[in-house]
Amino acid sequence: MINKSDLSLIANEEINAIHLEEVEILNALITLVNEGKDRDAITDTFQAFIGHMQAHFTYEEGLMKEAGYGMFTIHQAEHYKVLNEARYNLMDWSSSKDIERLQEYFSEDLVAWYDQHVDAMDKPMADFLHKGTN
C-alpha cells in the first residue's frame, strides 16, 4: 500500500492529482488482492488501474514532448516498461488466478517502482516544465 500522505509531490498540480487518484485505485486493488475473495473485482480494478496508468502516462508524455524535455525518451521507456509489466501480470492473473503471485507483484515490484519513479523521473520532469512556464 502507498500512504497518500507519504507520496512525494512534484511541481505540477495536475500530475499530483493524477498520482493521488492512481494511488487510490492501486490501494483499493491491493486491498482486494490481500482479501483474495472477489476475483472479478480484482480483475475489473486491475483493468481500471491499467487504464488510468495509460491515460496518466499519455498526459505526461504529451507535456514532455511539447516542452522539448531532453529526458523524454528515457521517461517514456520507463512508462512502457511498467505498463507492459502490469499488462503481463493482468494476463497472468486472468489465466492462473494465482493470488500469491499477484500479491508479490504489487508488494515487491509496483509499490517500490511507484515511489522511485515519482522521485527519480517525475520530479525532474515537473521542475523542467515548471521552469519553462516561468
DSSP the chain: ---GGGSPP-S-HHHHHHHHHHHHHHHHHHHHHHH---HHHHHHHHHHHHHHHHHHHHHHHHHHHHHT-TTHHHHHHHHHHHHHHHHHHHHHHHHH--HHHHHHIIIIIIHHHHHHHIIIIIHHHHHHHHHHH-
- What per-residue confidence (pLDDT) applies to 6? 84
Predicted TM-score of the model (pTM): 0.92
Q: Which three cell numbers stand for residue 126?
A: 515537473
- What per-residue confidence (pLDDT) applies to 3? 87
- What per-residue confidence (pLDDT) applies to 133? 61
CA-based nearest residue to 53, from 28, 25, 72: 25
Full set of structural domains in the chain with CATH: 11-133 (1.20.120.50)
- What per-residue confidence (pLDDT) applies to 13? 95
Mean pLDDT by groups of 10 residues along the chain of 134 residues: 88 95 94 94 97 97 96 97 97 96 92 90 94 65
- What per-residue confidence (pLDDT) applies to 1? 87
Contacts of residue 12, Cβ cutoff 8 Å, sequence gap at least 6: 63, 126, 129, 130
Cα-to-chain-centroid distance, residue 121: 12
- What per-residue confidence (pLDDT) applies to 4? 86
Residue with cell 516542452: 67
